Amino acid sequence: MNPTRANALGVVLKGFFSDYLPKVRGLSLHTILSYRDSLKLFLLFVAQQKGISVSELRMEDMAVEEIIAFLDHLEEKRHNRTGTRNSRLAAVHGFFRYVAGIYPEALDQCQRILNIPFKRRASRTVEYLEYEEINAILRSVDRTTRDGRRDHALLSLMFNTGARVQELIDLKANDLQLSKPFSVRILGKGRKERICPIWPETAQLLRQLLEERGIDERLPVTVFTNHVGNPITRFGIRYLLAKHLHNAASICPSLGKKRLHPHSVRHSTAVHLLKSGVDLSTIASWLGHASVNTTNKYATMDLEMKRQAIEKAKPLTDGAPSLGEWKHDPDLLAWLESL
């Protein structure tokens, strides 16, 4: 098939999203949707630049110049940071790497696109929470309310396990082991499963949460939900953390000076483990890092640890959705949105 022929782009996109990403590469749905969002933004940008609809785009319309202009647009108009820019470029690279494999006649175009480099970004200080700050946040949660008890259990589990936000969103009741030995099964990036031990105090909080909500821990029922019973979202977790950070700043002023977000709790877990004398390879396994090199940054983060002897840390007291079928609909944008 000639890749410049009308509707060829739709056929390639169908193969990329419906076959290559989920079946050949075995990527998770979350990763596939991330690719979808990036390519959707790119197609919209190119179509707008050329004054045509997305359905009228041809493969030859997506040259190096358009991709570089798209990357500039992300930074200058959408005010995306370098990391987001590079993530979008990675999705574009992935798509054209696939195109190069099935359309040798487009190889020259694909090679030039694949040679577009990722942009280097300045290294920023990683913010994390000290042990006293974590305790201040947990003490600030109003546990007399239903949502407050949920927030307290969620934040305690975040610090205990260092779980990513999406991993907490996906957590099911039957992933919890709330009798000795206490643990939680976490499905991480790349569908990698890991088991994290949890403190008895954390297990008790989770047990109480399930009992209050009438959830059988043997069933695959979502653990953390919002006030209407739907799974809590990434925005929801960010919002509740920001709320409790703000409240805790009145009793722990150092919190007001830090730039914190949900991933900061994950960093905090890593530093806490490192202070406890846990080796980097174990921390990498605990957090679900693909390589211990990712974990090495924590070895240089904590100034107190460099000045003092490491002391033992103590616990705190208190199946995949369908990607849709391609029906040769000329509206590519609607099909991508339906994934």
Task: Quickly list DSSP for 39-63.
Answer: HHHHHHHHHHHHTS-GGG--GGG--
Query: Is residue 101 within 8 Å of 80, Cβ to Cβ?
Result: no
Predicted local confidence at residue 77, as pLDDT: 93
Exposure of 76 in the CB half-sphere (CA atoms within 13 A):
6
Question: Out of 139, 207, 258, 263, which one is annotated catalytic?
Answer: 263
Q: What is the pLDDT of residue 228?
A: 85
Q: Which residue is catalytic, options 189, 194, 238, 258?
A: 189
172 three-class SS: strand
Q: How far is CA 334 from CA 37, 181, 204, in A?
A: 12, 49, 46
Residue 308 in domain: no
Residue 89 lies in a domain: yes
- Is 314 annotated in the active site? no
Do 115 and 138 lie in one domain? The reply is no
The DSSP bridge partners found for residue 195 are 185
**Domain's final residue, options 75, 100, 122:** 122
Burial of 319 (0-12, 13-18, 19+ CB in 10 A): exposed
Q: Please tell me the predicted confidence (pLDDT) of residue 304.
A: 52
Asked if residue 281 is part of any domain, the answer here is no
Mark whether 44 and 76 lie in a shared domain: yes
Catalytic status, residue 272:
no
Q: Are residues 42 and 141 in the same domain?
A: no
Q: Is residue 166 part of a domain?
A: yes
Report the SS3 class of residue 287.
helix
Give domain status of residue 46, yes or no: yes
Note if 298 is an active site residue.
yes
pLDDT of residue 264: 83
Sequence-ordered list of residues with C-beta below 8 angstroms from that of 99, at least 6 positions apart, any chain = 3, 12, 59, 106, 110
Number of domains in the chain: 2
Quickly tell me which residue has 């406890």 as its tokens: 276
197 forms beta bridges with: 183
- Counting every residue, how long is the chain? 339
Same domain, 140 and 237: yes
From 36, 93, 149, 164, the catalytic residue = 164
What pLDDT, on the 0 to 100 scale, is given for residue 126?
A: 67
Q: Are 137 and 256 within one domain?
A: yes
Domain that holds residue 85: 8-122
CA distance 139 to 144: 12
CB 188 within 8 A of CB 288: yes
280, part of any domain? no
- 271 located within any domain: no
Query: pLDDT tens digits for 7-56?
Result: 688 899 999 999 999 999 988 888 898 999 999 999 999 999 999 999 89
The last residue of one of the domains, among 260, 282, 298, is 260
- Indicate which residue of 20, 98, 128, 298 is catalytic: 298
CB 298 within 8 Å of CB 271: yes
Which listed residue (152, 266, 272, 275) is catalytic? 266
Among the candidates 238, 260, 282, a domain finishes at 260
Residues 191, 83, single domain; the answer is no
Q: Are residues 245 and 171 in the same domain?
A: yes
Q: 146 and 113, same structural domain?
A: no
- Domain co-membership, 206 together with 143: yes
Question: From the candidates 36, 88, 244, 289, which is the catalytic residue?
Answer: 289
- 118 and 13 co-located in one domain: yes
Helix (H, G, I), strand (E, B) or coil at 276: coil
Same domain flag for 107 and 59: yes
pLDDT at 324: 56
Domain match, 252 and 138 both: yes
Whole-structure pTM over 0.75, yes or no?
no
On whether the CB atoms of residues 280 and 296 are closer than 8 A, the answer is yes
Q: Give bridge partners of residue 243 from the DSSP assignment.
A: none
Judge whether 294 lies within some domain: no
In whole angstroms, give the CA distance from residue 326 to residue 162. 39
Q: Is 275 assigned a catalytic role?
A: no
What integer pLDDT is reported at residue 116 of this predicted model? 95
Q: What is the CATH number of the domain that holds 243?
A: 1.10.443.10
Does the annotation count 263 as an active-site position?
yes
Residues (pLDDT < 70) of the chain are: 1-7, 122-126, 190, 278-280, 282, 286, 289-330, 339
